[in-house]
Structure formats: structure tokens, C-alpha cells
Chain A
Amino acid sequence: MDILVQVVISGILFGGIYALVSIGLTLIMGVMDIVNFAHGEYLMVALYTTYFLNQLWNVDPYVAAIAVIPLFFLFGLLSERVLIRPTLDKPAFVHVFVTLGLSIILQNLALLMFSGNFRSISVPYAQYSYEIFDILINYPRLVIFIVGILVAIGLHFFLHYTWVGKAIRATAQNKNAALLMGINVQKVYAITFAIGVSLVGLGGSLLMPIYSVYPTVGFQFVLVAFVAVVMGGLGSIKGAVIASFLIGLVETLSGFFIDPSVKQALYFTVFIMVLLFRPYGLFGKKTKVA
């Protein structure tokens, strides 16, 4: 019984990691209609940033997050301005090429600059676990879980109760109508993209105590984040978060009770089942709302 509870808790905590990574992705996808294939590489850059802040100046990764968020907001603004905006009105495959190209460039730059070594930091609390009735809850994973939930709730309120948030939702619903209502759509896009990127930056900082960083680390997380985003319904933050927890649970439970090698097959089966019965995802609608 204990072990079952432990497996479920581990699965939920693990889902928190996917949730944190997929929130930014679903936001950009829902509002801008852009599939950001470089999402994993933004995560990689954030991990490297946190790593070097820690190695060079001994900055704690959680403190580094405070620097990484605004830094990545600027990084997001910059890449939106240079790469995304010029291609906004082009067909969708152009977005694919641009973001995929960016992802390849970032991966290879990282390989050139930092080599393919696996780098990790060691902070004293990294493997510390709270013990509650024989159930072990790892501290950094708990932090990710809580922050992931807070970010999702915070973003919900931001989108529903602030001017900028409302402008973002209006743009997501109908770009041209928003434009006619006097909303500066370009600005909205820039801000949306920057928020998405800074959220994945935050994710990078929080993941650093647990994982190693290397040039292709993004793949480890983003493939599943894409699944979570589609399963939850494109652009639905609530959907992405719930789908992330679902995938985390399926992975851990199947890994424990069946075999670690069938995990992927199983959550992809769940994914296909969801899409069979709800083609727009768990919380998706035919018209997308952020």
C-alpha cells in the first residue's frame, strides 16, 4: 500500500515537471498559432545559464531563476522580433522551418561552445526528501510542483483580469477583430512569446538541481510537453497542466507495475485514446481561447 502511494506521489511530482515546461508552449501555440519547435532549446539555454551562474558565481539555482526570468523575457522579445514577426503572415510551414532552424542553431552553438559533456551542479538540498509516513517527497521536485501550479493559476488570473491579459485573449480569439478594436497585435504577440520563453526559462532554473544539461537535453522534456499540450487542447493552460499530471502518472505507474520499457507506448496509447474521443483535446474547443 505504502509503495502504491509512493508511486502515485512520484508520478504527480514528475507530472509537475512536464506541466512547468508545457505551459509556455501552450500559451504561444494558443495565442500566436505558432508551434515553437525551439522550445526545448530555450529550456537548454536556461539550464546552461543556471549552470554557469552557479559554477562561476556560486549562485543558487532558485536565486538564478530570479535573474533568468527577466533575461529570458528579453531573449523572448528579441527572438520574436528577429525571427517570428517577419514570418507571422507566412504559411504555417515557414514557422516550422524558422523555429526548427533556431533549434538546430542553438543546439549546435551549444555543442560548439560547451561540448557534449553532461554538466550538473550539486546543491546540498538536491536529493533531500521529506519523509511523511514513510512516503518520500523530494524537495526540488516539490518546489517544481508548487511553482508549476502557482504559475498556471497566476497566468489564468493574468489572462482574465488584466488589460494585457485580456488583449492577449482577444488576439487569440480573433486577430483581425482585435486589430480593429485598437489592440496592438504585434505588441501582444511579442509579449506572449516573451512570457512563454521566460516561463520555460524558469523551468530550466528549477530543473537544474535534478537534471544534467547537455546540448540536446531539450528533447528529453519537450516531446512529452508537445503531447501534453495537444492532449490538453491547444492553448488551454488548464488542459496542459492536467494532461502533464496524467502523463506523469501513466509513466510512473506503468514503469513500476509493468516495465520501464513500456512507459512511452502506454502514454502514447492514452494520448491516442483521448484524441479519438475528444479530437480537440481534453479542454480544447473548436475556437481556441487562451
Chain B
Amino acid sequence: MARETWNHFFTKKGSEHMMSNQRLLAVLLMAMLLVGVVAGCGGTQESAGDTQGSSQDQQVKDPIIIGTIFPLSGPLALNGKDTFDGVEIARQIINERGGIEGREVKFVSADAPDPTAATQEADRLIQEKKVQIIIGTQSSSLSLAASAVAERNKVFYWEVEGIADGITGRGFKYIFRPTFSAQMMATQMLNFVEKVVAPELGKDPKDLKVILVHEDSGFGTSTAKNIEAQVSNYSFQLMDSQSYSAKSAELSSLVLSLKAKNPDVLLAASYVNDAILLARTSKELGFKPPVTIGTTAGHGTPDFVKALGEDAAGIFAAGILSSVSPAKMKPEFKALFDEVTKRYKEKYNGKEPSVNVYNGFSGAWLLLHDVLPRAQNIDAEGVREAALELDLPEGSTLMGYGVKFAGPDQENAGQNTSAFAAVMQWQDGKLVPVFPDILAQKNPVIQE
């Protein structure tokens, strides 16, 4: 207190000013809080309700009700909406073709911006709407949450997009994933090294010097584990495996130690920021391995190419396909591809569909077109058995892969073992699919 009187005594500006400042500060803070609250509210609104699109008539048979859970609001909404649009287009086309054995397909759609909402919505769909089949969810965290509820209630859960290993790694009976898993992304990186990189570099895979670097949080560590666990199936070995913190501002030491080892291939499980810093520091210190293969979580992102510009050229990224080309599709899928593109563009004034739209369509189409008609009863058990019996060769889906689900007694129960990730390369500022053949739009460019 004494100090305050001192201040008051010696300086012109007294405590009145201080008060008004504090009030101003309080008002400012309140305003900020309010902005925060308002912004937060937007994300949690429920946008559920039947999407009863068709007013056509009245089939005698009951409709098939399927629940959908996607992030339609909040930070994941951009991709979530696209995926859901693809799923919805599949439903429309199936219904226009007469439904499934005469039964119309209806969706009860739920919005799940975060895992808590995903849990609640899954619960609501199952308890209130009595759905037996759920399609989800775009994001792995949402999928992990929602599918746990489905499993508890013995409801069939069809995951069209989340790639976390945990989704099919929990020994669940009712989860099925037509798309690839993170583990299969690691497989594809290794396949690419053995089948493409080694011959292109003119080396026996045995002599190939391959080094793995990974950031040390969940993503990088699990990817690294997947790579390390599978590399024994290949004829090359990992020369070294190094972890680093994605939050570190200093990667010079890592780059210098890599440079000293002079690898032919650098595998990098990085996030965006560290992928950029790694590439920049490598250039500063004159480290340029002939082949760098990152993932679509880091080296394959738009932020990466914006930061690196021309220096990104030639770098590979494994993961989710960057763009879909109908060139190598069967005629039936070519027609569907055009139809999806047309419908999406009509809905959004000519905007080109993203990969998520096709991926959502591909997954939903497989369920509605190939699984459900094979089911004896359209309930969780019946659909589950039909899915397990499915055995389709490569090229049987819009996204190119075949279908064969792992059974309940196998590892990764419910995972489509015929799915695969893509490998892309930055060419002329675009991320072009180059591997495997069925997805490739251009040849990989590899220079010594």
C-alpha cells in the first residue's frame, strides 16, 4: 500500500487513470470472451434429421435406415462435408436405380465436430433412431469414439476415411474399414522403395542405404514402428532410425548427422512445420538425398510446397491419394466417376470435387452396391457376414483397390486387407500420384 501512495504523491497520473484502465481492460476481456463463446457455439449445433430427398412413390417395402456420422461443423467440417457429399451421392444413385432389392435407402445424418459429439451422436442414432448400420467419419479421433459406441451396442460400423491403426486394431467385431490403415501406408512406402526406387537408382535393394527419421510424438512414433516392424519383409535394411522433436527449432544437428551417413533414401514421418524446417535446413547444409519419401501429413501438404517452392520438386509423399483420375478405371466406375463429378459440380456451382468426395462415394458405394444386396438380413449381423464373405479383385472400387476384410480371428479384424495407400511426387507444384500403377497418373522422376 505504501508504494501506491508514493506513486500517487510523486506522479501526475494517479489512481483514477488506473481505474479507468482496468475497466477498459475488463471490458476488452469480456468482449474477447464473448467472441470466444459465440464462435464456440457454432460448432455444437445439431444438424440431424432425415434427408428425405425423394418424393417418389411409395414402395411397399420398408426403407433401409442407415445412420451417418460426419463432422459437418467445426474445424474438421471442410473435409467432413466433402466426404459426406460423396456418401450422399452414392445413396441417391442407388435409390434412383431402384434401391436395394426394392427398398429405398434413407440416411439419418448426425454432425460430430469432436469426439464427445461423435460418442453422443452414435448413442443417439442407436438408442433413438434404432439404426443397425452406421457410416462414418472422416477423422480418426471421431471414428475411434463413435465406433466404440457401435461395438458396445452390436451395431455395424463402416469407416470410409479414418486411417488410424487403432480403428481396426482393437479386436472389434462390428467395425469394418474399406480404406487403408496407417500401417498400410508404411507398407506402401517400403513397397515403393523396393519396387521403384531401387531399380530407378540402378541398385540392388540389398545395397540401398535407407534412413528413417520421425518426429517423436504419436504420429511419427507409430509410423516409425510400423516401418520398423515391416522392413524385415523386404530385401533392404534400415541403416538408421532417428527421432526428433517436431517442436524443436534446431534441426541442423539432425541434418548434419544424416549428411555424414549419406543415405540413398530418406523416409520421413514428419508433421508440416518440421517437414519444412527439415527440407530448408537440408538445403542450407547441402544435404540432398536422391530420394525423400515423407507422408501426406507433412511433406505432402499445401503448406509444404508453398514454403519450399521449387525445392519441393521431386519429393515423395505416401498416404491419402491426392487426386483421382478415371483413366485406369473399369467402364462401370468411369461412368460413376463422371456422375459423381457432375452431381457435385451441380450442387456447388461448378466447384471441382476433392478426393474426399470420391473417397466417401467409393466407400458408401461398396456398402450399398456390393455388401447390402448380399446380406441375408439387413441388420448388423447380416451385413457383417456379407462383408466378411466379400472377395473382390483390384479395381473393384472407385478408389482402385480390391476388397477382402480381415476376419474376427485375424489381426486388424474388419480391415480391408486389399486396400492400399498411394505414393505421390511433387511435380511442377502439383502432388501427382505415381504409385501403385492403378493409381499412377505420371511416372516417378528419380535422379541420382
Nearest to B249 among chain A residues (CB) is A220
A118 near B253: Cβ-Cβ < 8 Å: no
> Which chain A residues lie closer than 8 Å to B252 at the CB level?
7, 10-11, 14, 252, 255
Tell me the A120-148 residues at the B interface (CB within 8 Å). Answer: 120, 122, 126-127, 129, 136, 138, 141
A122 near B4: Cβ-Cβ < 8 Å: no
> Which chain B residues lie closer than 8 Å to A136 at the CB level?
284-286
**In terms of DSSP, what is the predominant structure of the interface of chain A?**
helix
Query: A86-B25, A176-B6 given as contacts; is B250 within 8 A of A14 (CB)?
Result: yes
> Which chain B residues lie closer than 8 Å to A141 at the CB level?
284
The yes or no answer to B30 lying at the interface (CB within 8 A) is no
The yes or no answer to A174 lying at the interface (CB within 8 A) is no
A118 near B25: Cβ-Cβ < 8 Å: no
The yes or no answer to A226 lying at the interface (CB within 8 A) is no
A184 near B25: Cβ-Cβ < 8 Å: no
The yes or no answer to A173 lying at the interface (CB within 8 A) is no
The yes or no answer to A105 lying at the interface (CB within 8 A) is yes
> Which chain A residues lie closer than 8 Å to B18 at the CB level?
85-86
Tell me the A59-96 residues at the B interface (CB within 8 Å). Answer: 81-83, 85-86, 89
The yes or no answer to A162 lying at the interface (CB within 8 A) is no
The yes or no answer to A254 lying at the interface (CB within 8 A) is yes
Task: Kindly identify which residue among B11, B244, B284, B306 contacts A120, using a CB–CB cutoff of 8 Å.
Answer: B306
B244 near A212: Cβ-Cβ < 8 Å: no
The yes or no answer to B54 lying at the interface (CB within 8 A) is no
The yes or no answer to B48 lying at the interface (CB within 8 A) is no
The yes or no answer to A41 lying at the interface (CB within 8 A) is no
Give A14 Cβ to nearest chain B Cβ, in Å: 5
Query: A120-B307, A248-B250, A261-B245 given as contacts; is B21 within 8 A of A212 (CB)?
Result: no
The yes or no answer to B257 lying at the interface (CB within 8 A) is yes
The yes or no answer to A52 lying at the interface (CB within 8 A) is no
Tell me the A171-217 residues at the B interface (CB within 8 Å). Answer: 176, 179, 184-186, 210-212, 214
The yes or no answer to B7 lying at the interface (CB within 8 A) is yes
A17 near B254: Cβ-Cβ < 8 Å: no
Number of residues from B at the complex interface, CB < 8 A: 48
A252 near B311: Cβ-Cβ < 8 Å: no
B277 near A7: Cβ-Cβ < 8 Å: no
Complexed CA–CA distance, A219 and B246 (Å): 12
Nearest to B307 among chain A residues (CB) is A120
B257 near A256: Cβ-Cβ < 8 Å: yes
> Which chain B residues lie closer than 8 Å to A253 at the CB level?
253
> Which chain A residues lie closer than 8 Å to B285 at the CB level?
6, 10, 129, 136, 138
> Which chain B residues lie closer than 8 Å to A176 at the CB level?
6
> Which chain A residues lie closer than 8 Å to B254 at the CB level?
255, 260
Task: Kindly identify which residue among A179, A184, A221, A260 contacts B249, using a CB–CB cutoff of 8 Å.
Answer: A221
**In terms of DSSP, what is the predominant structure of the interface of chain B?**
helix
Task: Kindly identify which residue among A101, A127, A211, A261 contacts B244, using a CB–CB cutoff of 8 Å.
Answer: A261
> Which chain A residues lie closer than 8 Å to B7 at the CB level?
89
Task: Kindly identify which residue among A120, A138, A211, A255 contacts B257, using a CB–CB cutoff of 8 Å.
Answer: A255
Task: Kindly identify which residue among A122, A129, A219, A256 contacts B253, using a CB–CB cutoff of 8 Å.
Answer: A256
Query: A82-B21, A82-B25, A120-B307 given as contacts; is B253 within 8 A of A186 (CB)?
Result: no
Number of residues from A at the complex interface, CB < 8 A: 54
A186 near B284: Cβ-Cβ < 8 Å: no
Give A273 Cβ to nearest chain B Cβ, in Å: 20
B253 near A112: Cβ-Cβ < 8 Å: no
The yes or no answer to B41 lying at the interface (CB within 8 A) is no
B309 near A122: Cβ-Cβ < 8 Å: yes
Complexed CA–CA distance, A107 and B253 (Å): 30
A118 near B256: Cβ-Cβ < 8 Å: no
Task: Kindly identify which residue among A6, A89, A120, A254 contacts B4, using a CB–CB cutoff of 8 Å.
Answer: A89
Nearest to A108 among chain B residues (CB) is B36
Complexed CA–CA distance, A253 and B256 (Å): 10
Query: A82-B24, A82-B25, A86-B21 given as contacts; is B248 within 8 A of A263 (CB)?
Result: yes
Give B259 Cβ to nearest chain A Cβ, in Å: 8
The yes or no answer to A3 lying at the interface (CB within 8 A) is yes
Complexed CA–CA distance, A118 and B1 (Å): 47
A118 near B4: Cβ-Cβ < 8 Å: no
A255 near B260: Cβ-Cβ < 8 Å: no
Complexed CA–CA distance, A129 and B259 (Å): 16
B256 near A256: Cβ-Cβ < 8 Å: yes
> Which chain B residues lie closer than 8 Å to A10 at the CB level?
252-253, 256, 285
A85 near B21: Cβ-Cβ < 8 Å: yes
B21 near A81: Cβ-Cβ < 8 Å: yes
A129 near B286: Cβ-Cβ < 8 Å: yes
B253 near A126: Cβ-Cβ < 8 Å: no
Give B19 Cβ to nearest chain A Cβ, in Å: 8
Complexed CA–CA distance, A210 and B308 (Å): 11
Query: Taking each of B273, B285, B311, which has the highest tally of chain A beta carbons within 10 Å of its own beta carbon?
Result: B273
Tell me the B268-299 residues at the A interface (CB within 8 Å). Answer: 272-273, 276-277, 280, 283-286
B11 near A186: Cβ-Cβ < 8 Å: yes
B280 near A210: Cβ-Cβ < 8 Å: yes
Query: A17-B249, A263-B248 given as contacts; is B13 within 8 A of A118 (CB)?
Result: no
Tell me the B7-31 residues at the A interface (CB within 8 Å). Answer: 7, 10-11, 13, 18, 21-22, 24-25, 29
> Which chain B residues lie closer than 8 Å to A3 at the CB level?
256, 260
B247 near A260: Cβ-Cβ < 8 Å: no
> Which chain B residues lie closer than 8 Å to A220 at the CB level?
247-249
> Which chain B residues lie closer than 8 Å to A214 at the CB level?
273
A 4-26 binary contact with B (CB < 8 Å = 1; else 0): 00110011001001000000000
Task: Kindly identify which residue among A7, A126, A248, A263 contacts B280, using a CB–CB cutoff of 8 Å.
Answer: A126
> Which chain A residues lie closer than 8 Å to B6 at the CB level?
176, 179
The yes or no answer to B394 lying at the interface (CB within 8 A) is no
> Which 6 A-B residue pairs are closest in the complex by CB-CB distance?
A255-B253, A120-B307, A127-B283, A260-B244, A10-B252, A256-B253
9 extra interface residue pairs, beta carbon distance < 8 Å, beyond A109-B32, A136-B284: A7-B252, A122-B307, A122-B308, A138-B284, A138-B285, A212-B273, A224-B249, A255-B250, A261-B245
Task: Using CB atoms and an 8 Å cutoff, list the residues of chain A in contact with chain B.
Answer: 3, 6-7, 10-11, 14, 17, 81-83, 85-86, 89, 101, 105, 108-109, 112, 117-120, 122, 126-127, 129, 136, 138, 141, 176, 179, 184-186, 210-212, 214, 219-221, 224, 248, 251-256, 259-261, 263-264
Task: Using CB atoms and an 8 Å cutoff, list the residues of chain B in contact with chain A.
Answer: 3-4, 6-7, 10-11, 13, 18, 21-22, 24-25, 29, 32, 35-36, 39, 216, 242-245, 247-254, 256-257, 260, 272-273, 276-277, 280, 283-286, 303, 306-309, 311
**18 A–B pairs (Cβ distance < 8 Å), ordered by A:** A3-B256, A6-B256, A7-B253, A10-B252, A10-B253, A11-B252, A81-B21, A89-B3, A108-B36, A120-B276, A120-B306, A136-B284, A136-B285, A210-B277, A211-B249, A212-B276, A259-B242, A260-B254
